Amino acid sequence: MRRVVITGVGVLSPLGNDMQELQEGIESSRSGVVHVESWSEYKDFKTRVCGLVNWEDYKVIPRKSRRSMGRVAIMAAKTMQDAVADAGLSEEQISNPRTGISFGSTMGSDAALFDSIGTIAKEKTFNGQNSMSFLQFMSHTVAANIAAMFKIRGRNIPACSACTSSSMAIGIGYESIKYGMSDMMFVGGSEEAHPYNAGIFEIMAATSTRYNDSPDQTPRPFDTERDGLVTAEGAGTLVLEEYEAAKARGAKIYAEIIGYATSCDGEHITTPSSEGMEQVMRLALDDAKITPDKVGYINAHATSTPKGDIAESHATYAVFGDKTPISSTKGYMGHLLGGCGVVESIIGLISLKTGLLPANKNLLKVDETCAPLDYLFEHRYGNHDIVMNNNFAFGGINTSLIFKKIEE
């Protein structure tokens, strides 16, 4: 079977806009979550916290490409630019028919959606609408726009599955290369911040509302004092290549993807299933052909909701017991929704490169109903060579990715 390696990275996150800044943000226990006063204009809307990306240099994306992008796609396109440069690829390699992409987001551009639909619904007319709004808010806006901008000629499989969008995109890219459909895949995802994202979670009583005046103290995955998730924005791109081809061209290799699985709970539309989470972790380990003890760090999905963190902890315990270091890095930046899978995978790459086992920011006392895992209270530095990244989404969709350091 063909091996799949990561040879380029681009990231925009609330903690920083490249791998170095992201690493430094985690190591200094900084928070990317801020108080957003402008949300007070929404009636009876309680949460005021959000993880925001400090980047608006939109003109690095040419106008002809940018005009059909909202912030969600613009951020993704910027990370694609950075990843392509990082991997040192030529236009010929990018536009090869055996080079494809997979990108996703929960929503297209919420801002574009609100600007457009509000007027249409209220005034019952399409007059005055520009031609770009739909292209900015359609579900596969990220994948479609990146394909057009970078002249992608190979497969394009949008992965729009809410919080597993970008982890699923990585999995799609991995399988595309592994099973011979592509030789190179650009994969990732994105999400833009908008009160709508937070609002839909607040309707379900899932947002953090007690830390509006101390935003750096929320979210608090696994902590007794957690009170819900914090929405955030961000994007990331990984360049995936077939191992022998990457080696032959002398590419810098961050890590190998050795395992991936996706599976469904097939139960409740929103309630997390511990059995489903356990299943997907076991399937990923089977795909990687490794036993659980080989995994040196788990980046948990844990969003800081009461039910989700408990379910995930028990699923993890069932597979790994209590010896594998685990943290949810959402404590640093909130929940990037469609962007979380790729950004948290990039944190996994940082862990493999530096040995950093990131602490669970804001975890002071573990919820007693959570399983007894090796929760990281402080940063540690290990000598591990395998990490796992887990993500779960509405619809009972689960993904698990396993990355391994490449021997020099």
Partner 1 sequence: MTEELVRATLKEVLIEEFEVEEDEIVEGANFFEDLDMDSLDAIDLIVMMDKKLNIDLKAEDAQKIRTIDEFVTLIMTRA
Catalytic residues, by residue number, are: 163, 301, 335
Which residues lie below 8 Å from residue 56, measured CB to CB, with a gap of 6+? none
- The stretch among 63-71, 117-125, 282-290, 358-366 that binds partner 1 (CB under 8 A) is 63-71
Q: At closest approach, how far in Å is the CB of 126 from partner 1?
A: 9
Burial class (CB in 10 A: 0-12, 13-18, 19+), 212: middle
Measured from the CB atom, the residue of 64 and 122 that comes closer to partner 1 is 64
Residue 334 contacts residue 229 (beta carbons within 8 Å) = yes
Residue 119: Cβ-neighbour burial (10 angstroms; 0-12, 13-18, 19+): middle
Q: How far is the CB of 127 from partner 1 (least distance, A)?
A: 9
Pick 38 or 131: Cβ nearer partner 1: 131
Per-residue binding letters, 33-52, with partner 1 (x by CB under 8 A): --------------------
Please report how close the Cβ of residue 131 comes to partner 1 at its closest, in angstroms.
Answer: 5
Give whichever of 120 and 253 is closer to partner 1, judged by the CB atom. 120
* Residues 6+ positions from 122 with CB-CB distance below 8 Å: none
Indicate the residue among 118 and 180 with the shorter CB distance to partner 1: 118
Hey, which residues does 378 pair with through a beta bridge?
none
Is the Cβ–Cβ distance between 390 and 274 less than 8 Å?
Answer: no
Minimal distance, residue 119 CB to partner 1, in Å:
12
Least distance to partner 1 from the beta carbon of 214, Å?
A: 40
Give the torsion through C-alpha atoms of 352, 325, 328, 104, to 10 deg: 50
Beta carbon nearer to partner 1, 126 or 248: 126
Answer for which of 43, 63, 151, 289 binds partner 1 (CB under 8 A) is: 63
Q: Give me the least distance between CB of 70 and partner 1, in Å please.
A: 15
User: Which residues, numbered 305-334, are part of the site for partner 1 (CB under 8 A)?
Assistant: none
Angle at CA of residue 107, ends 42 and 37, nearest 5°: 25
- Please tell me whether residue 266 binds partner 1 under the rule CB under 8 A: no
Tokens 């902890």 identify what position?
A: 313
Rank residues 135 and 198 by Cβ distance to partner 1 and give the closer one. Answer: 135
Report the nearest approach of partner 1 to the CB of residue 63 (Å). Answer: 5
Task: Please choose, from the candidates 87, 72, 94, the residue with its C-alpha nearest in 3D space to the C-alpha of residue 12.
Answer: 72
Q: Segment contacting partner 1 (CB under 8 A): 60-68, 117-125, 230-238, 339-347?
A: 60-68
CB burial string 13-32: b at 16+ within 10 A, e below:
bbbbbbbebbbebbeeebbb
β-strand 297-299 against 386-393: which pairing, if any?
A: parallel
Binding mask 109-138 toward partner 1 (x if CB under 8 A, else -) reads: -------------------xxxxx------
* Residue 257 contacts residue 401 (beta carbons within 8 Å): yes
Among 1, 38, 57, 64, binds partner 1 (CB under 8 A): 64
Number of residues near partner 1 (by CB under 8 A):
8
Given the complex with partner 1, which of 109 and 217 has the nearer CB atom? Answer: 109
The correct pick among 30, 35, 46, 67 for binding partner 1 (CB under 8 A) is: 67
**Applying CB under 8 A, which residues contact partner 1?**
63-64, 67, 128-132
